[in-house]
Structure 1
Amino acid sequence: MRIVAIEHVQLAMPRGGEAEAQAFYEGLLGLPRVPKPPDLEIRGGCWFESVLGANAVKIHLGVEDPFRPARKAHPALLVHDLAALVELLRAAGVTVRDDEPLEGYDRVYADDPFGNRLELMELRS
């Protein structure tokens, strides 16, 4: 037996934040919102997923009461054209933070609308 992949990452969000989540994850990051199964839809939250060939990115946001954002724990997302994404995020008012260099990558941190930390990384060519 062995673990072969991460199926999805779940982050917490406050109740009623679905529109903000969609504006950020779909509107800015380009991850399409997908329907939740009906039995889970009643809980609130929303799912964003992109599957391109063998590559899948799935971020699920679930309602947490009381809500506390993940400030240290975070998903690290590989992106193409990090500079353009950083420009888009900053233009939308998202705070983007540089961090210590990591060999082989350009990377930054940004918070989603709820304060959850995201690492955005691009392989250096």
Structure 2
Amino acid sequence: MKAIHHVAITVADLAGAREFYTRVLGLTERTDRPGELAPGTWLDVGGQQVHLVAGTPPAAQGQHFALLVDDLDATVGQLRAEGVQVSDPVPIGKARQCFLADPSGTVPIVTDPTTATAEMGFSEQVRCGWCPPTFGRISNAIELHEAAK
């Protein structure tokens, strides 16, 4: 295995999701998606793709994906200026992340490559309202990420 080529997410409102991922998050719509496929759209982000597929999204069970940015604080400011509800950045593993939800409830996580540790200020009492219920508190998310290493 060399890399992830694409992730596919099911969205209830294809037009709304396309607007969110392109205009708000800045992904670029591809033009090479075969027309005979079920309704959807392909988007570019960095060297990978996000495929939006029209349908009924599954119940939240912790599924998510993360988008890498150079400046997390600036990105949070830009998202909030667009009216997007986004959590404050929190340290998780060796990066800082913030959480938001697309119009269908999928959780794209925005992360930066800075080194973040528990000493940078996460609190076990802080609850992340943006994580799916299976993540629970931010400390639980950190434990899950650390255990996956």
Q: TM over 0.5: same fold?
A: yes
The aligned counterpart of 1:60 is 51
Decide which of 87, 100, 103 is 1:97's aligned counterpart: 87
- The within-5 A match list for 1:73-88 is 73-88=63-78
The Cα of 1:67 is off from its aligned counterpart by 3.3
Q: Distance in 2 between matches of 1:72 and 1:57?
A: 21
Which runs of no fewer than 5 residues in structure 1 stay unpaired?
none
The aligned counterpart of 2:11 is 13
Higher relative contact order (CA 8 A, sep 6+): 1
CA gap 1:100/1:50 in 2 versus in 1, 3 angstroms: closer
CA gap 1:71/1:85 in 2 versus in 1, 3 angstroms: farther
Q: Distance in 2 between matches of 1:47 and 1:82?
A: 25
The aligned counterpart of 1:122 is 112
CA gap 1:25/1:72 in 2 versus in 1, 3 angstroms: same
The Cα of 1:77 is off from its aligned counterpart by 1.4
Are 2:90 and 2:98, in contact at CA under 8 Å, matched by a contact in 1?
Answer: no
**Greater strand share, 1 or 2?**
1
- Identity, in percent, stands at 33
Residue type of the partner of 2:95? Answer: Y
Alignment coverage as a number of residue pairs: 114
The aligned counterpart of 1:50 is 45
CA-atom RMSD, angstroms?
A: 2.1
Which entry has the higher C-alpha Rg, 1 or 2?
Answer: 2
Which runs of no fewer than 5 residues in structure 2 stay unpaired?
116-149
Q: So what's the TM-score if we normalise by structure 1?
A: 0.78
Q: So what's the TM-score if we normalise by structure 2?
A: 0.67
Residue type of the partner of 1:4? Answer: K
CA gap 1:71/1:82 in 2 versus in 1, 3 angstroms: farther
